[in-house]
Structure 1
C-alpha cells in the first residue's frame, strides 16, 4: 500500500480547464471515494492518477515517486472498470492470471496466486467457467481478482458497481469493504452514488465542477457540510435547503435541516403546512410537505407513524442539528 499525493493537478481540453488545481493526499491504506454528479471531473481525475489521461500541469506521486510522466504499467496501480473488460474466450482462471501470463510468471507461482485470489473472492468453484456462465456480480469479482493478483500499490475503481442491480450492489459494497480490510490496500473509488460513498469510504472527496468542495470522513460531511452543494448532495433524502425570508429570519442566506431532523406534529411546531405525498418504506416513512412561505420540505419519520395527503401538520426543525450558510 502506498500514499498518493496530487499537487496543483490541472487538466484542460481544447483550452477549457476541467480540473482546477487539485491538491489532495490519500494516505497509505485508505479507502478514498471520489463522489459528485456527472461531469464533475471525478473519472478524469482517476484516469490522470492511472496515467490513462495526461495532466496539463501539476504532479502525481505514488509511494513517494513522481509518476506524472510515467506509463500506466510502471505506476504500481491496478484499475477496475464499470464494464468488467473480461476476455470471453478465456476461463475465469485465465482471466485472473492474464497479467501474470504476459509477465511470463512461472506456472506454479501463477497457479498459487490465482488460487489464493479465487479463495479470497469466493471464485474457487468457477475457475474453469467462461465469463458468459457467470452472474454480473461474479464477473465483477473476476475483474477485481485480475487486479488483486498483480499486487499493486494502489487500486483504482471507476464506478465498478453501476451495471449491477440494487441487491447485487448492496452485496458488492460489503464485499469490497471486507476486501479492503483484508488487504489493507490503498483504494480510490469513483461513484456518483452518495450511498456507496457513505457506506464504504474512510475518506470522501466531494467534487463539483472540477474542484474539491470538501474532504472528510462520511460523518464529517454528513454533520458539518462545508457548502450548500455538499449539504444537498450527501444524505438521502437530501437536506432541506431554505432561502429567502425564512432563511434571513434565521440569520443566514441559506438554512439547512435534514429530513431526519425535521419533527412533524399535529399540534405544535415552527411552521404550518400540509402533507403532499407519503412514501412508506417500512422502518421509515418519508413525508413530503408543502409549507407556505417556506416551500416544499421533506421529513423522515418512524415507519409506525401514519400521515395522509392533505393532512394539516406542524413542522419543527431540531435547532441543534441545523446548518446555516
Structure 2
C-alpha cells in the first residue's frame, strides 16, 4: 500500500491547460473516487499517476518517493481500463498470468499466483475459458485479476463499469468494494457516475474543469456541499436550485434543496405548484412540479404515490435542509 500526493501538479496539451496547478492527497489504503462530468480532467489525473501522461509542472509522489519522471513499469501501479483489453486467443489463466510470464517468473509461481487471484475473484471454474466465452462481468473480473496478480502498491480504475448493464454495474460495485476491503490496497477510481462515487468511495474528489471543487467523505459532500456545482452533482435525483426573491428570503442568491427534503401538501404550504409528471419507481415516486414562485422542481415521495398530472399541490421545504449559496460559495449550514 502507498499514499499518492500531487504537489502543484498541472497539465497542458500544447497551449491548452487542462489541469491548473493542483494539490491532492490520496491516503494509503483508501478507496478514492475522482468524479465529475466529461472533460473535467479525472482520467488525465489517473493517467498521470500511471505515467501514461506526462506532468507539465509539479510533482507526484508515491509513498514519499517522487515518481513524476519514473517509467510506468517501475511505479508499482496497475491500471484497469474501461476496455477490458483481454487477449482473445488466451485462456482466463493465461490472461491473468501474462504480466508475470512476461517478467520471466517461474511457471510454478505464476500458476500459484493465478490460482490465488482466481479464488479471490471467483474465477476458478473459468480458468480454461477464453474471453468470448465469458459474460461482461466475468471479463471485467479477469481484467481486475490481471492487475491484482502484479501486487501493485496502487490500483487505478478508469471507468471500468461503464460498458456493463445497470444490474451488472450494481453487482460489480459491491464486488469491487468487498475486494478493497479484503486487499486493503490503495485504489483510485475514475467515474462520471455519482452513484458509483457515493456507494464505493471513502473519499470523493469532485472535479470541475480541471479544478478540485471539494474533497471529502460521501455523506460529507451530500450534507455539506461547499459550492453549487458539488451540490448539484452529488445526490440522485439532483438537487433543486431556486433563485430570485424566494432565494433572497433565505439570505442568499441561490438556494438548493434536495427532492427528498420537500414534502407535498394538497391544502396549504410554502410554494403553490402544479404536478407536471410523476415517475413511479416502486419504492418511491419522483414528482415533477411547476411553480410560478420557484420554477420547476422535483420532489421525491416514499412509496407509489398516486398523483395525477395537473393536480394543484403545495411544496414545503423541511426546515434546516436548505443549502444557501452566495457568490458561488456556501454561506449557511442546513
TM-score (structure 1 length as normaliser)? 0.99
Tell me, in whole angstroms, the C-alpha distance in 2 between the residues paired with 1:37 and 1:304: 32
Residue 316 of structure 2 corresponds to which residue in structure 1?
316
Residue 298 of structure 1 corresponds to which residue in structure 2?
298
Determine helix, strand or coil for the equivalent of 1:152: coil
Q: How does 1:179-194 map to 2 (within 5 A)?
A: 179-194=179-194
Find out whether 1:162 has 2:162 as its counterpart. yes
Tell me, in whole angstroms, the C-alpha distance in 2 between the residues paired with 1:269 and 1:69: 61
Tell me, in whole angstroms, the C-alpha distance in 2 between the residues paired with 1:268 and 1:181: 49
Shift in Å at residue 304 of structure 1? 3.8
Tell me, in whole angstroms, the C-alpha distance in 1 between the residues paired with 2:168 and 2:304: 29
Tell me, in whole angstroms, the C-alpha distance in 2 between the residues paired with 1:305 and 1:175: 34
Residue 22 of structure 2 corresponds to which residue in structure 1?
22
| C-alpha RMSD of matched pairs (Å) | 0.6
Residue 55 of structure 1 corresponds to which residue in structure 2?
55
Shift in Å at residue 271 of structure 1? 0.5
Q: How does 1:250-289 map to 2 (within 5 A)?
A: 250-289=250-289
Determine helix, strand or coil for the equivalent of 2:264: strand
Shift in Å at residue 13 of structure 1? 1.0
Residue 66 of structure 1 corresponds to which residue in structure 2?
66
Alpha-carbon deviations, 1:86-129, whole Å to 9, x = none? 00111100000000001111111111100000000000001011
Tell me, in whole angstroms, the C-alpha distance in 1 between the residues paired with 2:190 and 2:146: 19
Residue 46 of structure 1 corresponds to which residue in structure 2?
46
Find out whether 1:124 has 2:116 as its counterpart. no
Partners of 2:272 and 2:293 within 8 A in 1? no
Shift in Å at residue 47 of structure 1? 0.4
Residue 12 of structure 2 corresponds to which residue in structure 1?
12
Shift in Å at residue 182 of structure 1? 0.2
> Which moves more between the two structures, 241-250 or 285-294?
241-250
Tell me, in whole angstroms, the C-alpha distance in 1 between the residues paired with 2:95 and 2:190: 24
Shift in Å at residue 293 of structure 1? 2.4
Determine helix, strand or coil for the equivalent of 2:89: coil
Aligned length: 325
Tell me, in whole angstroms, the C-alpha distance in 1 between the residues paired with 2:210 and 2:281: 36
Alpha-carbon deviations, 1:130-170, whole Å to 9, x = none? 10100010000000000000000000000000000001000
Residue 79 of structure 1 corresponds to which residue in structure 2?
79
Alpha-carbon deviations, 1:263-297, whole Å to 9, x = none? 11111211101100000000100000001021001
Tell me, in whole angstroms, the C-alpha distance in 2 between the residues paired with 1:35 and 1:280: 28
Tell me, in whole angstroms, the C-alpha distance in 2 between the residues paired with 1:88 and 1:4: 34
Residue 225 of structure 2 corresponds to which residue in structure 1?
225
Alpha-carbon deviations, 1:298-321, whole Å to 9, x = none? 000111432110000000101211
- Report runs of 4+ in structure 1 exceeding 3 Å deviation: none
Gaps spanning 5+ residues in structure 2: where? 326-334
Residue 331 of structure 2 corresponds to which residue in structure 1?
none
TM-score (structure 2 length as normaliser)? 0.96
Residue 249 of structure 1 corresponds to which residue in structure 2?
249
Partners of 2:22 and 2:212 within 8 A in 1? yes
Shift in Å at residue 249 of structure 1? 1.9
Shift in Å at residue 63 of structure 1? 1.0
Q: How does 1:71-220 map to 2 (within 5 A)?
A: 71-220=71-220
Partners of 2:280 and 2:304 within 8 A in 1? no
Determine helix, strand or coil for the equivalent of 2:212: strand
Alpha-carbon deviations, 1:28-63, whole Å to 9, x = none? 100000000000000011101110000100100011
Tell me, in whole angstroms, the C-alpha distance in 1 between the residues paired with 2:34 and 2:183: 20
Determine helix, strand or coil for the equivalent of 1:20: strand
Determine helix, strand or coil for the equivalent of 1:319: coil
Tell me, in whole angstroms, the C-alpha distance in 2 between the residues paired with 1:49 and 1:209: 19
